């Protein structure tokens, strides 16, 4: 029987997480790659931490800079963003399982450490107003707070109406946001 770790999707995500950790190290940051930890609870297929609230799913990377700033990074490898033609208007989108929003809010409030969503795209839009794709662009990031404020809950994500059995982790759907709210990563050594 093939396990999750034997899938192409897992391998792509793992490569993306490792590439992000390497990028941060080149920029002068120290990285604790929690994505590489063995799962505490196999059912979650995710790194966990022990907290006063119990076990919490953590983002993929904990990063430290020389100024003493610490942040969590949830790293997503995406083949490409999704082009959404309809309401609220044409736009490029990224997203994640809705259940992660509550998990990462708990991590953020329990640890007092901000959570960011980081995306590495294999193909990137040539512009925000066109549905054409080109080569990969820079790393993108957005704070969990901005995702929560500007994101849109979709019960039928992923898979849409044609795949009702796919409803994100725990069947809770997804949280999607406009790609344009994300910032490009511009490393400054030691920042």
Q: How far is CA 114 from CA 16, 36, 40, in A?
A: 21, 20, 23
Per-residue pLDDT of the chain (191 residues; tens, 9 = 90+): 345 567 888 789 889 999 999 999 999 999 999 887 766 666 666 788 888 888 888 999 999 999 999 999 999 999 999 998 876 678 999 999 998 999 999 999 999 999 999 999 999 999 988 899 999 999 999 999 999 999 999 888 766 667 666 666 677 889 999 999 999 997 654 44
Q: DSSP string spanning 124-158?
A: EESSTT---EES----EEEEHHHHHHH-EEETTTT
Q: How far apart are CA 151 and CA 53, in angstroms?
A: 26
DSSP class of residue 38?
P
Check which CATH number belongs to the domain holding 15 and give it.
Answer: 3.40.1350.10
What is the distance of C-alpha 40 from the center of its chain? 20
Strands 82-84 and 91-97: antiparallel
With respect to residue 121, please indicate whether it lies within any of the assigned structural domains.
yes
Residue range(s) defining the domain that contains residue 76 = 4-184
How many folded domains does the chain comprise?
A: 1
126 lies in some domain: yes
């Amino acid at each position: 029987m093939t396990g999750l770790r034997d899938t192409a999707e897992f391998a792509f995500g793992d490569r993306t997480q490792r590439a992000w950790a390497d990028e941060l190290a080149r920029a002068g940051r120290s990285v604790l790659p929690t994505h590489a930890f063995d799962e505490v609870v196999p059912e979650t297929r995710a790194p966990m931490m022990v907290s006063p609230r119990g076990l919490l799913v953590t983002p993929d990377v904990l990063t430290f800079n020389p100024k003493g700033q610490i942040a969590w990074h949830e790293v997503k490898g995406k083949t490409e963003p999704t082009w959404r033609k309809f309401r609220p208007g044409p736009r490029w989108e990224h997203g994640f399982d809705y259940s992660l929003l509550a998990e990462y809010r708990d991590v953020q409030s329990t640890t007092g450490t901000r959570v960011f969503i980081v995306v590495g795209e294999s193909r990137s839009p040539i512009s925000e107003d066109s549905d054409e794709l080109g080569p990969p662009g820079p790393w993108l990031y957005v704070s969990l707070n901005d995702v929560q404020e500007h994101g849109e809950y979709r019960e039928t994500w992923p898979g849409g109406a044609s795949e009702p059995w796919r409803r994100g982790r725990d069947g809770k759907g997804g949280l999607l946001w406009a790609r344009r709210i994300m910032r490009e990563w511009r490393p400054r050594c030691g920042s």
